[in-house]
Amino acid sequence: MNEKPNESGTQAESTPNDQPKKTAPKYAATVKSYDYEKTNGLFVTIQAIVIKDTERPWIQRFTGLETYSQLARSKNVIPNASSMETPLSFVTSFLNTLPCIQNGTGTFVFDKEDLSSFFNGYAADGSRADRTISRCISSVTAFADELRKKYPDQLPFSHEDLYQTVSSYGPKGCVQKEVPAFKVRTDGITRISFRDIPLRVIPVVLNEAWVHDPMIFFAFLSQFCGCLREGEVMSMRGQDSCFGPGMILEMSEDAFSHVKIDLTKNYVLRPGLKSQGTIKRCRMVPIIAPYLKVFQTAYEHHLELRETIPYDHERSPLFVDRNGNAMTKDAYRARLKVLIKQRVIPALQLSKDPDLVLYGQKLAANGFCPHQFRHAGTVALVNLGASPQEIQHIRGDANPEVALHYTNDKQDLLDTFRNAGDTLIDFLFNGVFSLARDARS
């Protein structure tokens, strides 16, 4: 290559600074959310995959690619934020590895090798759990397969290239199912999320919540009894709500004989289109018989507490913040974080029980999230003899294998309960009823 001579007539030597620099991508795919309230009070979030200019704060174009998400195509309702955000984020992560997206060329082409390269890079990150990697592979493979059906001439792979048939064993015996045909290289470390709550910790958390932040006490209990996600428990509403009763309550001699929490629709429970949280899978959630007495006790005390705070009686959110608005999922998490750090951890570390002291140390290092009450509630359902089908319905899981994961480990869980020297129900009842007696005295 000819180079321009310098003033002395000699050829200019190339320096490292003369080498072409790697420029940042001009465009990037991202998920854009739009929230609105329908005339009937339903809360809806529409999400779209858009191309944004990385140098300027505006959208370059809408792609329409979100319609090829398997989840979006399988639902007959407008997708909400909780169900779509993560799968679409996996898809945009993949799209941002493609030159056609980075350069904005408009020629949208990729092959199986591009998919395989992305999956290996995603798995090699080192910070992601195996389950997250599997979800990413599943979401992106389903997206590629749906897109292939629309543009078979542009995408050089078939359904058989993306999926393989494997045998799976469950309650109905051996069944054949399709799984993504991609093998990824990881660091070989199986990461287990910190989610198990020792039985004796639950009364400690309930007690500290009752004393220092009673508004979230019933939220904890509802998550446990109904295996609810935090967004779902924040979507619970009162019996006088303009959207209809929040629960089906049947009484027998002043005691609850039948309870179902109504999570069949996403409603806006606070003004300003700021969602209090969304329901991932709409359903009626039954409270099983062993929990009815303790659930009623906590529920009645919660209603008395709510009456001390001015709140929106028309929408009637069950959980309200200090301003009287429906509590958001983020506010719930923040209040829990404060409670755990300032109250629960010190209480555990001052315990005479070495197991509680050890858990307090783990809690200080790993943190705590409301989802752990959902996990603990599921473990309790297994030990109460619930079937995988019942667990799947109560939890609202799309994948039945989640329930099977718990029931397959049932013997280990039973051994854990025996070693604790008591049942979780006894712990729960003793904790709640002692708090109720203290409140009356």
How far is CA 251 from its chain centroid?
33
Structure token digits, residue 379: 């473990």
Structure token digits, residue 260: 């179902």
Question: What per-residue confidence (pLDDT) applies to 187?
Answer: 55
Q: How confident is the model at residue 25 (pLDDT cuts 50, 70, 90)?
A: low
Indicate the burial class of 108 (C-beta count within 10 angstroms; 0-12, 13-18, 19 or more): middle
A 10 A CB-CB count for 149 gives 11
DSSP-based three-state secondary structure for 144: helix
Nearest to residue 103, comparing CAs of 60, 47, 66, 69? Answer: 60
Say whether pLDDT at 6 is over 50. no
- What are the φ and ψ backbone dihedral angles of 149, each rounded to 5 degrees? -65, -35
Question: What per-residue confidence (pLDDT) applies to 13?
Answer: 46
Q: How confident is the model at residue 7 (pLDDT cuts 50, 70, 90)?
A: very low
CA 171 to CA 317: how far, in whole Å?
A: 40
CA 152 to CA 158: how far, in whole Å?
A: 8
Q: How confident is the model at residue 241 (pLDDT cuts 50, 70, 90)?
A: very high
Q: How confident is the model at residue 362 (pLDDT cuts 50, 70, 90)?
A: confident
**Residues with Cβ within 8 Å of residue 28, at least 6 apart in sequence:** 51, 52, 54, 96, 101, 102
Structure token digits, residue 328: 């958001």
The DSSP output letter for 98 is S
Q: How confident is the model at residue 418 (pLDDT cuts 50, 70, 90)?
A: very low
Average confidence score pLDDT of the chain: 78
Please check whether the domain covering 201-440 is classified as CATH 1.10.443.10. yes
254-273 pLDDT tens trace: 899 999 999 998 888 887 65
User: Domain ranges in the chain?
Assistant: 27-180, 201-440
Highest mean pLDDT out of 40-54, 207-221, 382-396: 207-221
Indicate the helix (H) or strand (E) that contains 248. Answer: strand 247-252
